[in-house]
Amino acid sequence: MTAQYRILVVDDEQKIREVIREYAEFEGYEVTDAEDGMTALKLCEKEDFDIVVMDIMMPRLDGFSTCKEIKKLKDIPIIILSARGEEYDKLFGFELGVDDYVVKPFSPKELMARVNAVLTRSQNGVDELPVLLTFDGLEINTSARIVSVDGVKARLTPKEYELLLYLARNKNIALSRDKLLSDIWGYDFFGDDRTIDTHIKNLRNNLGPYRDRIVTLRGIGYRFEA
């Protein structure tokens, strides 16, 4: 990792900011930090960052609200860092478009591995051919990155879109959670099965009458039925 990558660390605890800064700078990142969401938002308005690592519980403006406002300004990858590990909090974060969710207490080495993985995915993008995938009333326009359900545009987060596209392109094939984590998130050892399950749950909700095309394979993973 080189210094061309800029990371914004947002946490109201100075010690946490210092620890992340130490590990990030060791890996070559240029680090900027903020102690609350409002400061982070102002920084994002004025400067460009490659990724944001942000706590949820902060004064002035909480992490979720800050994430929502940042996404209105720029498409910056965001990793949520929080002591709240309930499924509801993770699901809400993913609905806002966050790329990963790390629960405190955390390993700084694991956090940096996740940062590197998210950045790699963000920088490389998804190798797509301009094609329209159609499954009855479910359409995936890969050139425009738009998913339509019976002619109505579905509101998917970038990661939900990547997950659906991957499943559709590997239709009728059993895919393990580890395989999905490795190929879509860009890591496997640091992956959490709950990450996949939460995204699948939200993706199904957005597919309406076509939700059953994503089949759960107990003890294995998922399959997209064409």
CATH of the domain at 192: 1.10.10.10
Angle at 190 between CA 165 and CA 64, to 5 degrees: 70
30-34: strand order across its sheet: 30-34, 6-10, 51-55, 78-82, 100-103
Taking only the tens place, the pLDDT of each residue in 119-174 is 877 665 544 455 789 999 999 998 778 899 999 999 888 888 889 999 998 999 99
pLDDT at res. 10: 96
User: Do the domain assignments include residue 43?
Assistant: yes
Same domain, 32 and 108: yes
- What range defines the domain where residue 141 resides? 132-224
CATH number, domain at 28?
3.40.50.2300
User: Do the domain assignments include residue 1?
Assistant: no
pLDDT at res. 124: 55
Q: To which residue do tokens 């995915």 refer?
A: 121
pLDDT confidence tier of residue 188, bands split at 50, 70 and 90: very low
Is 121:186 a contact under the CB 8 Å cutoff?
yes
Same domain, 151 and 194: yes
Same domain, 146 and 114: no
User: Do the domain assignments include residue 147?
Assistant: yes
Torsion angles phi and psi, residue 147, rounded to 5: -115, 130
Taking only the tens place, the pLDDT of each residue in 85-130 is 677 777 778 777 788 888 888 899 989 988 888 887 766 554 445 5
Q: How far is CA 45 from CA 7, 114, 117, 118, 219, in A?
A: 15, 25, 25, 22, 45
Taking only the tens place, the pLDDT of each residue in 24-41 is 999 889 999 999 999 999
pLDDT at res. 147: 93
Of the residues 93, 124, 155, the one at which a domain ends: 124
Domain tally, the chain: 2
Name which of 158, 62, 84, 88 is nearest 118 in CA terms. Answer: 158
Same domain, 94 and 163: no
pLDDT at res. 66: 93
User: Do the domain assignments include residue 54?
Assistant: yes
Whole-prediction pTM? 0.61
Maximum distance among all Cα pairs of the chain, rounded to whole angstroms: 53
